[in-house]
Amino acid sequence: MWIQHHIEYSKLTNNIHSKKVTSVAFFNLFIYLFQVMQFLGFFLFSPIFKQFQYLPDICFFNELNPKN
Protein backbone atom coordinates (compact mmCIF):
# COMPACT_ATOMS: atom_id res chain seq x y z
CA MET A 1 0.00 0.00 0.00
CA TRP A 2 2.63 2.53 1.05
CA ILE A 3 5.04 1.36 -1.66
CA GLN A 4 2.38 1.75 -4.35
CA HIS A 5 1.56 5.23 -3.07
CA HIS A 6 5.23 6.12 -3.05
CA ILE A 7 5.65 4.89 -6.64
CA GLU A 8 2.68 6.95 -7.84
CA TYR A 9 3.93 10.01 -5.95
CA SER A 10 7.39 9.70 -7.45
CA LYS A 11 5.83 9.32 -10.91
CA LEU A 12 3.92 12.56 -10.35
CA THR A 13 6.87 14.53 -9.03
CA ASN A 14 9.54 13.02 -11.25
CA ASN A 15 8.81 15.16 -14.31
CA ILE A 16 8.72 18.33 -12.22
CA HIS A 17 11.82 17.84 -10.10
CA SER A 18 14.12 15.58 -12.09
CA LYS A 19 16.13 18.25 -13.89
CA LYS A 20 16.37 20.49 -10.83
CA VAL A 21 17.40 17.70 -8.46
CA THR A 22 19.97 16.36 -10.93
CA SER A 23 21.56 19.76 -11.42
CA VAL A 24 21.69 20.39 -7.67
CA ALA A 25 23.22 16.97 -7.07
CA PHE A 26 25.89 17.53 -9.72
CA PHE A 27 26.60 20.99 -8.29
CA ASN A 28 27.03 19.57 -4.78
CA LEU A 29 29.24 16.79 -6.12
CA PHE A 30 31.39 19.34 -7.96
CA ILE A 31 31.79 21.44 -4.82
CA TYR A 32 32.63 18.34 -2.78
CA LEU A 33 35.28 17.23 -5.29
CA PHE A 34 36.70 20.75 -5.39
CA GLN A 35 37.02 20.80 -1.60
CA VAL A 36 38.68 17.37 -1.63
CA MET A 37 41.18 18.56 -4.25
CA GLN A 38 41.88 21.69 -2.20
CA PHE A 39 42.49 19.60 0.91
CA LEU A 40 44.78 17.17 -0.91
CA GLY A 41 46.69 20.02 -2.51
CA PHE A 42 47.17 21.67 0.86
CA PHE A 43 48.23 18.41 2.47
CA LEU A 44 50.71 17.42 -0.24
CA PHE A 45 52.18 20.76 -1.30
CA SER A 46 52.03 22.92 1.80
CA PRO A 47 55.47 24.03 3.02
CA ILE A 48 54.45 23.02 6.54
CA PHE A 49 54.45 19.37 5.50
CA LYS A 50 57.64 19.55 3.44
CA GLN A 51 59.70 18.98 6.57
CA PHE A 52 58.11 15.53 6.90
CA GLN A 53 60.12 13.85 4.17
CA TYR A 54 58.88 10.38 5.10
CA LEU A 55 55.29 11.12 4.09
CA PRO A 56 55.88 10.96 0.30
CA ASP A 57 58.00 7.83 0.78
CA ILE A 58 55.14 6.08 2.53
CA CYS A 59 52.50 7.40 0.14
CA PHE A 60 53.86 7.24 -3.40
CA PHE A 61 57.50 6.63 -4.03
CA ASN A 62 57.82 3.12 -2.65
CA GLU A 63 56.31 1.78 -5.85
CA LEU A 64 58.27 4.16 -8.06
CA ASN A 65 61.70 3.90 -6.40
CA PRO A 66 62.07 0.65 -4.46
CA LYS A 67 64.93 0.84 -1.97
CA ASN A 68 66.63 -2.51 -2.44
Question: What confidence tens digit (pLDDT) does each residue in 20-34 have?
Answer: 667 777 888 888 888
- Amino acid letter for position 11: K
pLDDT category, 18, cuts 50, 70, 90? low
pLDDT per position as a tens digit, 43-67: 666 665 555 555 555 555 555 555 5
Q: Residue ranges of the alpha helices (H) in the chain?
A: 2-45, 54-56, 62-64
What gap in Å lies between CA 66 and CA 63, rounded to an integer? 6
Q: How far is CA 18 from CA 2, 3, 8, 15, in A?
A: 22, 20, 15, 6
What gap in Å lies between CA 13 and CA 21, rounded to an integer? 11
Q: How far is CA 33 from CA 17, 24, 42, in A?
A: 24, 14, 14
